[in-house]
Amino acid sequence: MKEKIHPQYYHNAQVVCSCGNTFTTGATQPTLRVEVCSHCHPFFTGEQRIVDTEGRVERMKRRYGIK
């Protein structure tokens, strides 16, 4: 492997979710901020909720006239 071309690896990187959940993992950045984690994602929680951060669902509903 070539020397001095790889990013520094942090074994104890802190991940912070927008729901308030935090956990530790390995990453190339010391802290990571995410919008959705396994504690608040609809697939893992089992609730029917659409995760839409950019308004794509509403735009599709307006385009195709879905009510």
In what helix (H) or strand (E) does residue 10 lie, and over which residues does it extend? strand 10-17
Tell me, what DSSP letter sits at residue 11? Answer: E
28-60 pLDDT tens trace: 999 999 988 888 877 767 776 666 666 777 777
As given in the structure block, the two tokens for residue 62 are 């307006």
Contacts of 49 (CB under 8 A, 6+ apart): 42
What CATH code would you report for 10-64?
Answer: 4.10.80.400
Domain boundaries, the chain: 10-64
Does the pTM surpass 0.75? The reply is no
Least confident range from 8-12, 21-25, 54-58: namely 54-58
